[in-house]
Amino acid sequence: MERWIEHYSSSQEILLVGEGDFSFSACLARAFGHASNMVATSLDSQESLWGKHPSCVSHLNELRQRGCLVLHDVDVHDMDLHYFLSWKKFDVIIFNFPHAGFYPGLGESHFQVIEMHRQLLRGFFASAQVMLYSGGEIHVTTRDDFPYNTWDVEELADEASLVLTEKVWFEKSDYPGYRNKRGGNIDSNKSFPLGESYTFKFEVESDYGY
């Protein structure tokens, strides 16, 4: 029986990238009852993840028990070339709260920091768009208030020939157990305010009738 949680269904092949403590992936897995349709990944190695997010241990155990493939050291810039991911296609690729890290002395509104976040998204979009089934979707959930809105997610997606199909208010409580994490190297395990957060859904332009 197909089971849904918000935009996601147990019958979709789902790739999650840039996970923090894997609580979002674990939430989907619980909602589906199994996770054999999911690949959940982090940039961090397993060892570094344990240090940054001690809460990942129970989520990773749950994911594996439910049949999820968990991969570490997956960089969104070249994930399409990854030894396992290179031959797989997905219906949905999810990156929640992409963030290129923190730089002492430089605030989030500094142009160099903004450019680093933009570069991360550029790399993600370019790599993700070749990993989709026809009609597949890329979902980026991010804050859409200042200074995060200066990243201009839609413009970056457009550069990768992706078209915005929907922009939906993100409600954290819709995802029981999900704890959004700062990541990076400073206070990694802390949460952060979600401000005005939205899920931006993109499709490849040619699949969308352009």
Min dist. Cβ of residue 166 to ligand SAM (A):
19
Length of the chain: 210
Min dist. Cβ of residue 18 to ligand SAM (A):
3
Min dist. Cβ of residue 119 to ligand SAM (A):
9
Min dist. Cβ of residue 208 to ligand SAM (A):
26
| 12 or 197: CB nearest ligand SAM | 197
Q: Which of 74, 96, 93, 70 is nearest to 83 (CA)?
A: 74
In the 3-class helix/strand/coil scheme, how is 168-199 assigned residue by residue?
Answer: EECCHHHCCCCCCCCCCCCCCCCCCCCCCEEE
Min dist. Cβ of residue 210 to ligand SAM (A):
28
| 66 or 82: CB nearest ligand SAM | 82
| 135 or 186: CB nearest ligand SAM | 186
Query: Residues 6 or more apart from 152 whose CB is under 8 A from it?
Result: 118
Angle of helix 56-65 relative to helix 23-32, nearest 10 degrees, comes to 30
CA of 206: how far to CAs of 25, 99, 136, in Å?
29, 28, 11
Residues at the contact surface with ligand SAM, assessed by CB under 6 A: 17-20, 24, 43-44, 75-77, 96-100, 120, 180-183
- Tokens 């949460």 appear where? 191
| 38 or 43: CB nearest ligand SAM | 43
| 144 or 207: CB nearest ligand SAM | 144
